Each structure stands twice: as C-alpha cells, then as structure tokens.
Amino acid sequence: MRIGEEIEKTGEKEIRKFITDNFMIGQNPDELKRDTSFLDNGIIDSLGVLELVSFVEEKFGIEVRDEELVPDNLDSINNLLGYIRRKLGG
C-alpha cells in the first residue's frame, strides 16, 4: 500500500478522533466534515493548534516547522491529510 493511501485510511480516523475528543466535546461529531474549517467554526484556538501540532508530530513522526503553521496545512481534516502526505513524501 502506498503511504498516501495508508494515511487516507488510518490518518483520517485518528485525526477525526483527536479533534472530536479534544475540541468538540459535547458537540455532534457528524458536524465535522472533511473540509470543515477548524478556525471558522471555532473548533480550535491558538492553544488547540499547538496541541494538534504535537499530536501530528508524534503520531506521524514528522516535524512541523514554524512557517508551516498556516491554515493551508492544518485547518481541516483534508488540509491535514494533504500536509502529512507531503511531509512523508507519499
């Protein structure tokens, strides 16, 4: 299986679980679509992003650089998956 496909499969599940467990407590997890913006929907704040970054670094064994702390890389499940795939060269 190519890295990209593997991330698609397991990555989405784990990221979704991390977001709903930590930032959407008490909210309907079905409201989190793959393209839901964490910022626009008030799901994540500045502290949340740091937690998300630690999670992604640990889970996927990558290092997030300062200049990568932008919505294009982090602000939805889709963006995160794309970013992780790029980092892992998948």
Choose between 2 and 65: whose C-beta lies nearer to other proteins: 65
Cβ proximity to other proteins: between 4 and 48 the closer is 48
Helices (runs of H) and strands (runs of E) counted in the chain:
5, 0
Inter-CA distances, 54 with 12, 41, 50, Å: 16, 21, 6
Per CB under 8 A, residues contacting other proteins are 25-27, 38-42, 44-50, 65-71, 74-75
Least distance from C-beta 55 to other proteins, angstroms? 15
Rounded least distance, CB 61 to other proteins, Å? 18
Residue 74: name the closest of 47, 41, 23, 39 by CA: 39
Who contacts 24 (Cβ-Cβ below 8 Å, separation ≥6)?
Answer: 31, 32, 43
Shortest distance, position 90 Cβ to other proteins, whole Å = 23
Nearer to other proteins, 1 or 47 (CB): 47
